[in-house]
């Protein structure tokens, strides 16, 4: 079973459009082939971003809460006991990479792959959602 961390931009894209690879990945949460990993800082980042971007548009604040509850119930919840900040140019990317390292993630899914340059030295492969679907044999 692959261990995966999903960057905030992938979750936002998945919720703003029901087309595309990010939405397909989100619909596959709970699939036996992979497991999403979350930490408290990442869930808080998800909440802040989703309520700013999506709430009042396609989703209500309650919808965002329901989605986050579903993700928490269907993911590995990982405590973060160490901080390597700053490691990446954006401190919000650091919290994503810290989770990927702590959870020994096979993949970190993001649309901003260049922002995670150097993640491979921790054994984390940074890829786009479409690449992940191809690895799972789900590419269309």
Digitized pLDDT (tens) for each residue of the chain, 140 residues in all: 999 999 999 999 999 998 999 999 999 999 999 999 999 999 999 999 999 998 778 788 899 999 999 999 999 999 987 666 556 656 678 889 899 999 999 999 999 999 988 888 889 999 999 999 999 999 76
Say if 25 falls within a structural domain: yes
Cα 100 to Cα 44, 78, 81, 125: the distances in Å are 16, 10, 13, 10
Sort 87 into a burial class: Cβ within 10 Å, 0-12 / 13-18 / 19+: middle
pTM of this structure: 0.92
Structural domain count of the chain: 1
Cα–Cα nearest to 129, from 31, 43, 4: 4
Q: Which CATH number do you get for residue 31?
A: 3.40.50.1010
Write out the residue range of the structural domain in which residue 45 sits: 2-135
- 140 is a domain residue: no
């Amino acid at each position: 079973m692959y261990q995966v961390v999903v960057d905030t931009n992938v979750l936002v894209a998945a919720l703003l459009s029901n087309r595309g690879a990010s939405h397909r990945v989100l619909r596959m949460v709970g699939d036996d082939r992979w497991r999403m990993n979350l930490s408290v800082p990442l869930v808080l980042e998800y909440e802040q971003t989703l309520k700013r971007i999506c709430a009042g548009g396609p989703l209500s604040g309650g919808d965002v809460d329901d989605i986050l509850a579903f993700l928490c119930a269907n993911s590995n919840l990982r405590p973060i006991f160490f901080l390597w900040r700053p490691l990446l140019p954006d401190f919000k990317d650091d919290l994503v990479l810290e989770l990927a390292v702590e959870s020994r993630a096979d993949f970190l899914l993001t649309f901003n792959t260049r922002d995670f340059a150097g993640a491979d030295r921790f054994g984390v492969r940074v890829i786009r959602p479409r690449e992940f679907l191809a690895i799972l044999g789900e590419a269309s």
